[in-house]
Chains A and B, each alone.
Chain A
Amino acid sequence: MTEERKLRLIGTPFRRVDGRAKVTGRTLFADDLHFPRTAWVKLVRSTVPHARIKSIDCSSALAMKGVLGTLVGEELPDSFGILPVSEDEHALAIDTVRFVGDPVVAVAAVSEDIAHAAALAVNVEYEILATVPDFDAALKTPEPRIHDYGDEGNLHKKISMEFGDIDDGMAQADTVLEDTFYYEGNNHLALEQHASIAVAEDDDRVTLYSSTQTPHYVHRALIKTLGLPPARIRVIACSNGGGFGGKTDPFNHEIVIAKMALKLGRPVKIALTREEVFYCHRGRHPALMHIRTGFTKDGAMTAQHLRTAIDGGAYGSYGVASTYYTGALQTTTYRLPNYRFDGARAFTNKPPCGPKRGHGTPQPRFAFEVHLDKAAHVLGIDPAELRLRNLVPADTITANWLQIGTTGLRECIEAVTAGSNWKERYGKLPPGRGLGLACSAYMCGAGLPIYWNHMPQSGVQLQLDRSGCVAVFCGETEIGQGSDSVLAAIVAEILGIDLKDIRLCVADTDLTPVDLGSYSSRVTLMMGQAALQAAEKARAMIAETVAEHLEVPADTLVFADRRVFRADDPEHGLNFNEAVVVAESRFGTLGTTGSYIPPRAPGRYRGSGVGPSPTYSYTAAVIEVAVDADTGLYNVEHVWCAHDIGRAINPVLALGQIEGSIYMGLGEATMEEQVFRRLPKRLSPALVHKMPSMLEYKSPGFHDMPGMTSYLIETADERGPFGAKEVGQGPLLPVLPALANAIFDAVGVRVDQVPIQPENVLTALQAKTAGKDARVGPKKFPSIDYGEVLRVPTPEQGGDGRAVGDPRAQHAGVRSASGTMKDREEALKEHSSATLTTD
């Protein structure tokens, strides 16, 4: 169908629908909204890392002029959390605080200034508990537990699974290599700080406007915590000034102001400071990783064993999924016939980690790609060639049962090696100059929703009338990535109209069909498919009536240039609005819907829910670096990045995502780190964010960006709309390892950790001069009991996707097999059966 039609808009660099408003400052972000009688809320946050709350005294705050009221934890007793398996958060702490920044009290006042002054006047007394600062401490300090649930002590989640037989695989190898890597945590640093405003519409009804990537999940969290029926809560996601995963959880402040608006009967607003954004966090998990891989002489991989230890901070957030993700996508780039993954996540007294661009996968990708670079040197094979020899073929199933779609990784590698003149220059540049290569793959939307259901993950509804305007309703959320433009363009393309003929109504839980939100690179693919379906239905209705009207067969009609006309006789046709009049006269009020449910993944084992995706994107990057051997200072000279996007809906938007990913990747590679200060233990239990400000948390600026050359590789995949795959996250992944590999090429030292500080380079260089191991990085990996290993035969071994001896295997398919969803039995208990359908 669409393939045969000539595309007019899709694939062209059309102007974003929200571009003009954004560059002229007319876009309304949440913090721009104001309603009459708006009250301001400020949160009193914990000043201690781990403690029981002894007492809360709000009397001085309440005595201040202009203070309207306070809220404490007991008034919002129900817990919430993005994953049903870890609903461990309270809007305001009840009994226990778990990190410096954990909200305890909310104060409302007639102005933000008074709210802040009053918040400072609230006195909370604490009974201090032992501080658990990092993964190692969590492992060694099972008591006191930060939460009374989780797999063991302060270990939140433990995973162990083996696909095939790694012992067997290692035995077939000529060389077995192992490495330990560390990846520091970091924040999304979206420019817009979280802000929300809640309006009490009338008794017991509240509307929340918020900077959120996931209005649907916020709606669910509000239903749970406010104890109101869904119809009494409306969530509207405003345009987001960037999200990157930092606005995908429901947050304390959203719940608090909704409750406060109901309590006070007036609009209530909160605008977080940058420091508070660092406390909301949900950023990259710090990850310690150990990787061991067997290679044949020719560079084929026979087996890999990956172990990860991630520091989750104080709450669950997406952490269970994050833990799985540190292992799940390892198989998607190169053939790995036998693969074992052990992962663990710890609770610590720090702001909770969660999903940041690449969710859980940049860490093991860094480890894998540097490890491969080392292997290439040991085996004497060019790093690009080593990768080309191992590529995962298109349309195959990996050892851990992921269904691969199209892949353009070969073309990506060819593009960046040609662009950087790799063959002539790699390994041959003068001392201090080097090239590094790395590759990656990423999901185009998570195959499973966050809570158990069989309903569409994205819905789109069209409304057409005689004016010729088309209103498009969808729960999708514009976070700056351009999803509004993609939605409008797909509908405009199918109906042959202009972007200006489209009116969008998005991200409003009262008015728009559910879309799960802007995360996991799912929007273009899932929303796009739903929009395509809805638009095709509308097109068919119009085509049918116009065909009758013009007395021609419907399939000879073309929709283009705001007209519907005969392909063989373009003069013969109707204007689009006339065509709608004909259709409306015939069918009555016109409306269509479209929805998208991802295909069923072949995996049937516990944990197989994390990793599946309709298809995967691929990226390769080469970085050129100049290193100064005396100081360790280095400069990224250029980045070449090629991304297999399937099909670019809008190449300019797509290139923007690649460049943004390179920027973010370089930030993580060179300087960004969310790190904490521990004061001397004998003097203080404090554990504070070292630099919760835009000035001191270092992230590159324009000055610091190198030149970039980006390539779009198009391997259209029928699973995506017009063949499109993702581009929002994947291109970040190869940037970090490519830099580490380039530094090795330049000066012959390994920095097996990120960010790569100039000091690290200097230390490694000094070790090299002294004849010692020319490496900086973690020295050892702790011994962790990951629990009993789940054994899953691979497709090659003739497996059926189930684990060996898994008693639950018989239910597989109707029951959640992933950490991201509750068991079906449990889910059924909690929700009415109407929200669940069996397959």
Chain B
Amino acid sequence: MLRLPPIEFVKPRSMQDVLAALTDDPADDEVRLVAAGTDLWPNMKRRHQQAKTVISLMSIPQLRGIETAGGELRVGATTTLTDILRDEIIRARFPAFARAVASISSPPLRNMATLGGNLCIDTRCTYYNQSEEWRRSIDYCLKERGEICWVATKSPRCWAHSASDAAPILCTLGARVKLVSSAGERVIPLAGLYREDGIEYLNKRRDEVLTEILIPADSDSEHCRSTFWKLRRRGSIDFSVLSVAAAVWTDSKGMVTRAAMYLGAVESRPMPVDAMDMLLGKSLGKTLNATLNATLDPTLDPTVGKPSGTAPGEQLIAAIARQAHQIARPLDNTDFTPSWRGKMVEHYAQAALGELAGLPMRRLAPRHGLTVV
């Protein structure tokens, strides 16, 4: 069996104790935080993430919970994914967020896994998420101990891909996160937490703890329509090889006033699709179905599919989808071939936008592992 190396496991009683144990020395990689550990423990067993001391956040009750303040939704960092899925308010107000969370790993893992952990998970690459012995066989790689990135041998940077499914949808909804350290606290847009680098993938100092996720009131289903699509091999367990999160805000006439789309798993950070701006001031189509989001049940296999027929917004949709394809960087470090995943970016972006536009959908691949969620 794969076993954890010996560590000191610390269960602090208070946030002060947590903060006191952390330093902002970037060279100090002896201390790490852990929430549920569904990402950290496997990585430490394979020894591509190491630490002498691991500080648990699970013993701090204040970090767990869901509350609404002035319409803004606040989710504590150690709130589990199952807590989120069980929350009626989240399901009603932020259905695409719930859909994304429902797509993460499997029910037993979601019972443990936390939202804060999900937003901070390590970037992934099939040259990296391997045992110590395996990595010795390739002389390691840039991300850990090695000299070369095996995915792009001439590349000066690591291309390990962003793996969080909650990140793209929360970036799309304009969520912010609170980072706390002994030096104080700051609240930053979630999109600003991520960097275009597979190694230093977070804009966060080592001594900062992510304590809270804040989702603005005007991103709920009364103000915007949002969706989340995920491409993966099987119906459960698998990480995304591509995810598409999108949202549009419209005025009373159905004109788009704000629009956002983020792609997951095709870069080291969730990738914003700027072409969404093309929607501003436009109508997405006559057949807008305002109730679509409200009726989304994230725990059920959602209606999946793609637009069929024609609609006024369709050319626009196609143009945005093409741009999404262009900016995505699917590489040979996860399941499926990069070229096919690239093509899928266009299809999935198109499908996500089609859903937002209320275009009639037809089922793509029900029940199969390749279900689009």
Binding site for B on A (CB under 8 A): 31, 45, 47-48, 100, 112-113, 116-117, 120, 193, 271, 273, 275, 626, 628, 630-636, 670-671, 677, 679-680, 683-684, 686, 688-693, 695-696, 698, 700-704, 706, 757-759, 762
Contacts and interface: CB of A to CB of B under 8 A. Distances in A.
Interface string B3-22: 11110000000000000000
A677 B134 CA distance: 11
A634 B368 contact: yes
Contacts of B335: 696, 698
Contact of A688 (B2, B4, B5, B138): B138
Nearest to A704: B369
Is the contact region of chain B dominated by helix, strand, or loop, or is it mixed?
A: loop
B365 interface: yes
A112 B236 contact: no
A701 B368 contact: no
B366 interface: yes
A241 to B, nearest CB: 14
B137 A48 contact: yes
B235 A630 contact: no
A686 B306 CA distance: 42
Contacts of B111: none
A636 B335 CA distance: 20
B245 interface: no
Contact of A762 (B127, B343, B367): B343
B347 A692 contact: no
A671 B233 contact: yes
A304 B368 CA distance: 37
A680 B368 contact: no
Q: How large is the interface on B (under 10, 10 to 19, 20 to 34, 35 or more residues)?
A: 35 or more
Contact of A703 (B1, B127, B129, B235): B235
B264 to A, nearest CB: 17
B138 A692 contact: no
A273 B340 contact: no
Interface in B121-153: 126-127, 129-134, 136-139, 148, 150, 153
A686 B130 CA distance: 15
Interface string B354-373: 00000000001111111110
A270 to B, nearest CB: 10
A273 B134 contact: no
Interface in B302-352: 306, 335-337, 339-340, 343-344, 347
Contacts, number: 121
Contacts of A706: 367-368
Contacts of A691: 126
Given A680-B153, A757-B336, A628 B365 contact: yes
B365 A759 contact: no
Contacts of B239: 695
Nearest to A113: B3
B292 interface: no
A671 B369 contact: yes
B336 A45 contact: no
A703 B138 contact: no
Nearest to B132: A120
A636 B366 CA distance: 9
Contacts of B238: 695, 698
A635 B365 contact: yes
B237 interface: yes
Top 3 closest pairs, chain A to chain B, by CB: A703-B235, A635-B368, A704-B369
Given A671-B233, A701-B369, 15 more contacts: A100-B137, A113-B4, A113-B5, A117-B5, A628-B364, A636-B368, A688-B134, A693-B130, A696-B126, A698-B369, A701-B234, A701-B235, A701-B237, A703-B235, A758-B370
A112 B1 contact: yes
Contacts of B343: 631, 762
B347 A631 contact: yes
Given A113-B6, A691-B126, A762-B343, A634 B365 contact: yes
A703 B367 contact: yes
A122 B280 CA distance: 63
Contacts of B150: 679
Interface string B191-214: 000000000000000000000000
A679 B150 CA distance: 7
B132 to A, nearest CB: 6
B105 to A, nearest CB: 9
B182 to A, nearest CB: 34
Contact of A116 (B3, B127, B364): B3
Nearest to B368: A635
A679 B138 contact: yes
B131 to A, nearest CB: 6
A229 B51 CA distance: 49
Nearest to A119: B133
Contact of B337 (A47, A633, A696, A759): A759
A700 B335 CA distance: 14
A704 B236 CA distance: 9
A631 B364 contact: yes
A757 B337 CA distance: 10
B309 to A, nearest CB: 14
Contacts of B6: 113
